[in-house]
Amino acid sequence: MATATSSAPVRRGDHPIVVFWRVLRANPLSLFGFLLVALICIVALIVAVAPHVLVPYGPEQETGLFNAPPSWAHPFGTDGLSFDVYSNVMRALPLDLGLGVGIAGVSLVIGGALGLIAGFYDTPGTLGGYTSVSIMRVTDVFLSFPSLILALAITRVLGPGILNVAIAVIITWWPYYVRLVRGEVLAVKHLPYVTAARAAGVTENRILLRHVLRNVTEPLVVYFTLDIGTVLVTYSTIAYIGVASKYPGPQPEWGAMLAFYQGSAPISSYPWLVLAPGLAVFVTVIAFSLLGDGLRDILDPRTRRAFVRGAAPEPPAERPTPDAPAAEAESDRGEVPVVAPDPGAVA
Amino acid sequence: MTDPVLIVNDLSVTYTVGAGTFYAVSDVSLEIEPGRVIGIVGETGCGKSTLAKAIPRLLPEPPATIGSGSIVFRGTDLVKVGRRQLPMIRGTGIGMIFQEPLNSLNPAFRVYDQLLEAIQIRHYREMGWVKSFQGGERPFDYSKPPDTTTVAGSLSKIIVPSGAAEEAVRDRLATRSQFREEVLSYLRLVRINDPETILNLYPHELSGGMRQRIMIAMALSEKPSLLIADEPTSALDVTIQAQVLTLMKELIDEVQAAILFISHDLGVIAETADEIGVMYAGRIVEYGPVAEVFRDPRHPYTKALLKAAPAHYKSDGPLSSIPGSVPNLSRPPSGCRFHPRCALARDVCKGDTPPLAPVDPAAPPESRHIHRSACYFQSEVPGLP
Amino acid sequence: MGRSPGDLLIFVLKRLLQLIPVLIGVIVLTFICTHLKLSGLCNAVYPHASKAVIDACNAKYGAPLLPQFVSYITNLLQGNWGASTLGQAVYPAIAADLPATIELVLAALFLMIVIGIPLGVIAAQYGGRWADHLVRIFYLSGWATPTYLGAVLAAVFIGPALGLPTRGEYSTVVPPFPQYTHMSVVDAIIAGNFPYTVDAIEHLILPASVLAFINMGIATRMTRASMLEVLPLDFVRSARMKGLSEFWVMYKHALRNALITTTTVLGVTAGGLLAGTVVIEEVFDWPGIGQYAYDAIGGGGSVANFDGAIAVVIVFAIGVVVANMIADILYGVLDPRVDWR
């Protein structure tokens, strides 16, 4: 495949932070996403540690104003129970963000480990081979279920509650990471430099840790970034359907809030009630999506070219290189980083 | 002599990459008359392929920019033509054969559909259904019967042995079977033995040589008045290369089109072209009739190239190479771009760019077809052993 | 090279055979997941039920796993999928609801194809420029919109603003013609009732648009990525050199190749589309299996229907598996390099 060559912004050997920054600088949408993610994380941290700095009212504290429209005192208005909507939306932020990161993180660890095993020890006929095959069979079956539906059914069995819903989502979530990591491992495993390492007598375990793992990290980070948003949407949908957390309560949650407000008052008269938690989900998810989507554009050789064209135009195809007089112009390919595949239907 | 199909005047093409600018083609001038074959030769990275793609405006702009100069194709300056008008020039006006036959055919369509598409484009333009180059003017005047007394006239008969679709042009739309017949005739033209079978195959089922033949058939079927062949044989195996080259040579004799033949292979150019332009670091450094340039190169770079060609292997002992390296085109050397590697270089070479001056001082300096060299000391270039 | 019609039949049959182990896996996994926590299950499922109901439930789910599984499978195969707490049989209800959901999903898929794919082409064509950024903001917005938010906003604000109906399949509860297929538009067409056909399409627009918008990202992103992969290839350049206009170069030569990969991803979106129907059908009162699932799972505080929930999970999983199989077959048809034998 004719990918862009040496002037591309991603170069093997550069420090990841340098690459990351170069990527962000070149793509305004990703930079915006990154700043938004940073802001959201800082706000969530402040709310979790010292809520009084940003949140004027308690979760079930009455303000005396019923269904008041947004004002300076109540930026998102008040609801039919006279609670301050802004305070509740802010109090939900650490929980929703934490669930997104936590569920995606646990899935990443479980799925990633299984994916590494399935991808790396896949010699047919060995113990590893059988393990690999069984892991993939189970994964395939899991991937047949729409995550939301299976998670809902499992929640039904485990009973409502934040932890139970989190477990239910994790049960449906890890297979995506198995598929991703295994694909990456298989792609990396047969690259010339890994073969060279093997030929040089480096042990298999060391290859796994040093070479393969390192190359799997990039797409995994990108996928994880996008996934936080998807998990958040899934979790809040389960909450919206009404089998996760309850609202009103000591710990607000966006999906549950929206469901409650939708049922409690006519939306067209009090639109801020629904818009506040809804937009909170939207903004959080789109921040992670903008960041992740931009990152993936860079790491995916298929789309990298467009990015390169937008940020820094490609070099001419036959640009001579000073140190290789009559060498083939195409000879400087092969520094393409590994692929970040599509997340598929995880919504 | 007939009017040139293509006149390139002082064409410069640059690439802007990040903060750097690459001067890929600098001040290149060319003229091609119908029926003539002009060969451009040079090392990888000398800008010859950029030149080939710049003429039909095929370069992505940006990063490429046509900095200055004009590309006058049949009276129209292509540099000034809008993006939307470009397709009208391509195909029936300027045809092109690419270096990479493996990927140049669309993998999702059968050979037949791809050839048919080309023939239909030409046919609809001839019918005046689709606006074509120069406000609907036909690329060729088919209303006159072919004049068999001229070479060009007799050749147009050979090109379409059946002439089926062409017959139909005069009064009505060609039928399906006429199109099919014409597709077959072009496959036969490129010496494909079993065209009926080949028609229904997909590109991945064909060999590289076969694909290149089909590419050639596709380009010829639109009857371009200028055909650009960009290293048409370089990507093929040596044996296939020879076959395709033979075919090209035969077709060159049959086609009335002006041909610009790009190659890094001196031997290929020697066999096919009437005139040769030697490119180095984006400039034409020597130009002239093939026989003259090969017999008596008047530029140190051409001399070095000829010496490095394997044909001289036996007589010269070890294969010679040119000292130094190809310059980085983002910072080209001042003056003559070859001076850092040139044994004849003196101070003047570092200062001003030498003009492409006639080798014979008595020749009219404005003629573009005589032997010229861009070297201040062209008379001092030693002859070939 | 085997690509004759007979080979295609073999190709399709092979895919159908591959379906069987996956379906068995789906059923086993559903059984395991829904019988994970046996102690106290019945109290969890029916928190406010009478003692008799709990005892009946315990008798059903308290038994050892293997005999339970055997009876579960036998019942499933016999079409006896249990009944809701209110005594409504699961299988007939699902069979009646499924077509409406299929109609909704197909309508959304149609919108994803006619809008999402051209958007992907445009984004690729202007890669890295403002058109690309706009398209990306558009599909990422869909991606980031929770289904419930999109559905509620569409039902409350967009629908009334555009004068589109936001509830049900028709303006009347029961249409004046027999519902053979249970697909609103198809039934109206079969009946030859033009006003009702228009009415049915109007009712379909909002839920299908929301469903499509939310799932648009995958189709658009994949088209964009495959187009970006295809555009630098040599055959695109030769198509340009033939004299084809940019439109034909893009939408005939380049897209035809990009579609090969996009098709497989459209199969993958089936999961997202089906999951989306749960909330969308509830909000728009669309009488499909999504709404049934919403109720069965106990959404909005409705009485839980455990047998129904299990059935819904299996049906949705089958939907995903079949969609992937169709995409796989389409891939084989679209890519001439795939050998059917």
Calculate how close chain C gets to B171, using CA atoms only, in Å: 24
In angstroms, rounded to a whole number, what is the distance separating the alpha carbons of residues A100 and A288? Answer: 11
The span from the CA of A242 to the CA of A287, in Å, is 26
Q: How many domains is chain A partitioned into structurally?
A: 1
Tell me, yes or no, if B260 comes closer than 8 A to chain C by beta carbon. Answer: no
* Tokens 């589109």 sit on residue: C164
Q: In 3-state terms, what secondary structure has residue A204?
A: helix
Is the predicted pLDDT of residue A308 greater than 50, yes or no? no
Give the closest-approach CA distance of B91 to chain C in angstroms.
4
User: When comparing pLDDT for A82 and C263, which is higher?
Assistant: C263
Residue A193: inside a domain: yes
Confidence of residue A312 (pLDDT cuts 50, 70, 90): very low
Contacts of B324 in chain A (CB under 8 A): 325
Report the Cα C104 to chain-centroid distance in Å.
Answer: 8
Is B338 among the domain residues? yes
Distance from CA of B265 to the nearest CA of A (A): 13
Residue C214 and residue A230 in contact, taking contact as beta carbons nearer than 8 Å: no
Tell which residue, A136, A297, A314, A288, has the closest CA to residue A225. Answer: A288
Instruction: Report the distance separating Cα B50 and Cα A315, nearest Å.
Output: 12
- B87, C246: Cβ pair inside 8 Å? yes
Task: State the pLDDT at residue B325.
Answer: 73
B-C contacts (CB, under 8 Å) = 78
Helices (H), A62-146: 85-120, 127-143
Q: Is residue A341 part of a domain?
A: no
B10 neighbors B68 (Cβ within 8 angstroms): yes
What six digits make up the tokens of B239? 């044996």
Read off the pLDDT of each residue in A64-72 and give the average, rounded to a whole number: 78
CB contact under 8 Å between B121 and C242, yes or no, is yes
Between residues C38 and A174, which one has the greater pLDDT? Answer: A174
Which residue of B58, B87, B125 is in closest CB contact with C245? B87
A240 and C225 in contact by Cβ < 8 A? no
Of B60, B63, B326, the CB nearest to A320: B326
Q: Would the CB atoms of A316 and B62 count as touching at under 8 Å?
A: no
Asked if residue A42 belongs to a domain, the reply is: yes
* pLDDT digits (tens), chain C, 341 positions: 567 888 888 888 888 888 888 888 888 888 877 765 555 566 666 666 677 777 777 666 666 677 777 887 888 888 788 777 677 888 888 888 899 999 999 999 999 999 999 999 999 888 778 898 899 899 999 988 998 899 988 988 888 889 888 888 888 877 788 888 888 888 888 888 888 889 889 999 999 999 999 998 888 988 998 898 888 888 898 898 888 888 888 998 899 988 888 888 888 788 888 888 988 998 898 888 988 888 888 776 666 677 888 888 888 888 888 888 888 888 888 888 887 77
Does residue C287 have a cis bond before it (omega within 30 degrees)? Answer: no
Which strands make up the sheet holding B275-280, listed edge to edge?
Answer: B94-97, B226-230, B258-263, B37-41, B275-280, B283-289, B372-373, B357-358
User: Helix or strand or coil: residue B353?
Assistant: coil
**In the Cβ-directed half-sphere of C13, how many Cα atoms lie within 13 Å?**
7
**C212 vs B17: which has the higher pLDDT:** C212
In the structure, what pLDDT confidence band is assigned to residue A228 with cuts at 50, 70 and 90?
A: very high
Q: Long-range contacts for A261-264 (Cβ within 8 Å, ≥24 apart)?
A: A261/A79, A262/C148, A262/C152, A263/C300, A264/A79, A264/A80
Report helix, strand or coil for B277. strand
Yes or no: say if B50 and B59 are a contact pair by the CB < 8 Å rule. yes
Domain tally, chain B: 1
Task: For residues A281 and C323, give the distance between their C-alpha atoms in angstroms, rounded to a whole number.
Answer: 30
Say if residues C317 and A143 touch (Cβ distance below 8 Å): no
Contact C241 B215 (CB under 8 A): no
In C, which residues are within 8 Å of A243 by CB distance? 297-299
Give, rounded to a whole angstrom, the gap between the first and last alpha carbons of chain C: 8
Nearest residue in chain C measured CA to CA from B115: C242
Query: Nearest by CB to A328, which of B17, B44, B63?
Result: B44
Model pLDDT, residue A40? 93
A275 in any annotated domain: yes
* Mean pLDDT value of segment B341-364: 76
Contacts of C143 in chain A (CB under 8 A): 229-230, 285-286, 289, 347
pLDDT bucket at B319, cuts 50 / 70 / 90: low
Q: What is the pLDDT of residues B28-53, one digit of tens each?
A: 888 888 878 888 988 877 888 888 88
Contact between C212 and C113 (Cβ < 8 Å) = no
Residue C41 confidence (pLDDT): 60
Q: Which of C1, C243, C260 sits opposite B87 (nearest CB)?
A: C243
Q: Which chain B residue's Cα is nearest to C253?
A: B106
Nearest CA in chain B to C230: B106
Nearest residue on chain B to C235, alpha-carbon basis: B104
Rounded to whole angstroms, the Cα distance separating C65 from A23 reads: 54
Chain centre to alpha carbon of residue A80: 35
Output the six-digit token pair for B185: 């005739």
Q: pTM of this prediction?
A: 0.81
Distances (CA, A) of B278 to A200, B288, B297, B324, C270: 47, 9, 10, 18, 59
Say if residue B356's pLDDT is above 50. Answer: yes
Q: Which of A208, A150, A140 is nearest to A176 (CA)?
A: A140
Could you tell me which chain C residue has the CA closest to the CA of B106?
C235
Question: With an 8 Å Cβ cutoff, are A313 and B63 in contact?
Answer: yes
Selected residue of A1, A22, A307, A318 to mutate for chain B interface (largest B Cβ count, 10 A): A318
Q: Can you tell me whether residue B17 is helix, strand or coil?
A: strand
Residue A1 lies in a domain: no
CATH superfamily of C90-334: MetI-like (1.10.3720.10)
B23 token code pair: 């001067």
A298-312, A319-333, C41-55, range with greatest mean pLDDT: C41-55
Q: List, as ranges, residues 41-70 from B with C-beta within 8 Å of C.
A: 56, 58
DSSP state letter for A79: -
Mean pLDDT, range B278-290, rounded to an integer: 86
Q: Does B109 touch chain C (CB under 8 A)?
A: yes
Q: Which residue of B has its CA nearest to C233?
A: B103
Asked if C233's CB is within 8 angstroms of B87's CB, the reply is no
What does the pLDDT read at residue A39? 94
Is residue A317 situated within a structural domain?
no
Interval B59-118: pLDDT, tens: 887 778 888 888 888 777 888 877 777 888 887 788 888 887 678 888 888 888 888 888
CA distance C298 to chain A (A): 7
C-beta atoms of B118 and C240 within 8 A: no
pLDDT band per the 50, 70, 90 thresholds, residue A329: very low
Q: What is the CATH number of the domain that holds A37?
A: 1.10.3720.10
Q: Nearest residue of A to residue B324 by CA position? A: A325
Sign of CA dihedral B319, B322, B325, B330: negative
Kindly state the DSSP code that residue B346 receives in the 8-state scheme.
-
Whether residue B156 is predicted with pLDDT greater than 50 in this model: the reply is no
What residues does each domain of chain C span? 90-334
In this predicted structure, what is the pLDDT of residue C260? 86
Nearest CA in chain B to C232: B60
Say how far apart CA A179 and CA C145 lie, in whole Å.
26
The percentage of chain B sitting over the pLDDT mark of 70, rounded to a whole number, equals 81
Q: Is the pLDDT of residue B385 over 70?
A: no
- In-domain check, residue B382: yes
Is B342 a member of any domain? Answer: yes
Would residue B136 count as lying in a domain? no
Return the residue of C nearest to B221 by Cα. Answer: C242
For range B154-165, the mean pLDDT: 40
Least confident among B178-182, B327-331, C182-186: B327-331
Pairing mode of beta strands B283-289, B37-41: unpaired
Cβ contacts (< 8 Å) between B325 and chain A: which residues?
322-325
| Residue A325 domain flag | no
CB contact under 8 A, B43 and A319: no
Q: How far is A53 from chain C (nearest CA, A)?
A: 28
Chain B CB contacts of A328 below 8 Å: 44
Q: pLDDT at position B1, please?
A: 54
What pLDDT, on a 0 to 100 scale, did the predictor assign at position C159? Answer: 87
Whose tokens are 């399709």? That residue is: C12
Q: Does C41 contact A157 at a Cβ distance shorter than 8 Å? A: yes
Q: Write down the pLDDT at residue C62.
A: 62
- Give C246 to chain A, closest Cα distance, Å: 18
For β-strands B64-73 and B76-77, DSSP reports them as antiparallel
Residue in C140, C144, C304 nearest the CB of A156: C304
Q: Is residue B191 classed as helix, strand or coil in its secondary structure?
A: coil
**Does B88 contact chain C (CB < 8 Å)?**
yes
Residues of chain B neighbouring C245 (CB-CB closer than 8 A): 84, 87
Which pair of tokens denotes residue C225? 């990525």
- Return the pLDDT at B220: 83
Spatial contact of B75 and B207, defined as CB atoms under 8 Å apart: no
Q: Do B121 and C239 touch (CB under 8 A)?
A: no
Closest residue, chain A, to C27 (C-alpha): A141
Write down the mean pLDDT value for chain B: 76
Q: What is the pLDDT of residues B234-278, one digit of tens each?
A: 777 777 777 788 887 777 777 777 888 888 888 888 888 888 888
**B27: part of which helix (H) or strand (E)?**
strand B20-32
Residue C129 is predicted with a pLDDT of 81
pLDDT in the model for residue A321: 32
Q: Which tops the pLDDT comparison, A298 or C152?
A: C152
Mean pLDDT, chain A, rounded, equals 75
Confidence of residue A101 (pLDDT cuts 50, 70, 90): very high
What pLDDT does residue A109 have?
A: 94
Tokens encoding A268? 């067209």
Q: Is residue A224 over pLDDT 70?
A: yes
**Tokens found for residue A285:** 């998810």
Question: Which residues are A84's β-sheet partners?
Answer: A78
Give me the pLDDT at residue A19, please: 67
> Looking at the DSSP assignment, which residues form a beta bridge with residue B289?
B275
* ipTM exceeding the 0.85 mark: no
Nearest Cα of chain A lies from the Cα of B124 at a distance, in angstroms, of: 34
For B371, the domain range is 333-385
Between helix A213-241 and helix C255-284 the angle, nearest 10°, is 30
User: Which domain does A305 fall in, by range?
Assistant: 19-46+78-311
